[in-house]
Structures are given as C-alpha cells and as structure tokens.
Amino acid sequence: MADINSVVLVGRLTRDAELKYLNAGLAVCKFSLAINRRKKNGDNWEDEVNYFDVVLWGRQGEALSKYLTKGKPVGVQGELRQDRWEQDGQKRSRIEIVADNIQLLGGGPGEGFQGSDSGQDSGGSQNSWASKNGENKSPPSDDHFSDDIPF
C-alpha cells in the first residue's frame, strides 16, 4: 500500500505573505490560513477557528506573494511536512503545509476583480468592476471582437 500525504484547504489569510530569499537565491513565501468550522456543543452551534502555516517555494511564491494579503480567501493544495528541532534540551516540532498549488478565490475590500493565479475569471468580475468605478457599464472591451463570446 502506498502512503498518501495530500491536503486541500480553503480559508482566509491571517496576515500578509512574507517573501524571503535563501542564500542560493530560492524564494520562500510564508503565510498563515484561518479555517472556520462549526461544531455542535449540546444544543448550541459554536464557531471554531484553526490556523495553519503554509510555505510556497520558488517562482510561484514570488509571483503570488503580492496578492496574498490579509483577509484574502485562498485555496491551498499541498502536503504536510513536520519540522523537528531541539530547543533548550526539549524536542519540538511544527507541522506546515508545503503548497503545490494556490488558488486566489476572491477579491478583498476595494479590489475590482475576482480571479485565480491561472488568470481565469471566476465570475462576478464585471459587476465588481462596475461597482468599483461607480458606473453601471461593462469593463472596456477589445475592439477586435464585437460579438459576445460566452466563455
């Protein structure tokens, strides 16, 4: 039987992403996700928040770090990694998610679009653009295409 280490999370960033570079020049982008969960405690429903540290390596980390801002909803696909060390004679460990894929899920306050890192529109961008500019019209269109294409 093969071992599987895969995780998919959807949540909001708790802080702006932090981009650093190793001595070899490799980019490391780190951020934290908050995942809300509702659970029943007796007759009442309670909200519970879980926090997860995420690491994104390389060019994808460089490209996305400026978009990974506090409160932004994102989807993360990756694997769990355990970091172990000893501090003051005590063994310590921390589990991080090493991301393979990040999906930007929506605009935050004041942003004029919803999109993903793949550049595809996730719907609602036309309404967001119009409301951002205080107008009730579509975003500027390319003059080369006069017909409406549904995709």
60 closest CA partner among 102, 6, 25, 120: 102
User: What element of type H or E holds 63?
Assistant: helix 58-64
Domain 7-105, classified CATH 3.40.640.10, yes or no: no
Q: Residue 147: pLDDT band by 50, 70, 90 thresholds?
A: low
* Arithmetic mean of pLDDT, 20-41: 91
User: What confidence tens digit (pLDDT) does each residue in 82-133 have?
Assistant: 989 999 999 999 999 999 999 998 755 544 333 334 444 444 433 333 333 4
Give the pLDDT score at 72: 92
Boundaries of every domain in the chain: 7-105
Please state, in angstroms and rounded to a whole number, the distance separating the CA atoms of residues 133 and 114. 15
Mean pLDDT computed over 13-23:
93
Residues 6 or more apart whose Cβ sits within 8 Å of residue 101? 76, 77, 78
pLDDT band at residue 1 using 50, 70 and 90 as cut-offs:
confident
> What SS3 state is found at 56?
strand
The band of 42, judged by pLDDT with boundaries at 50, 70 and 90, is: confident
Chain position carrying tokens 């529109």 = 121
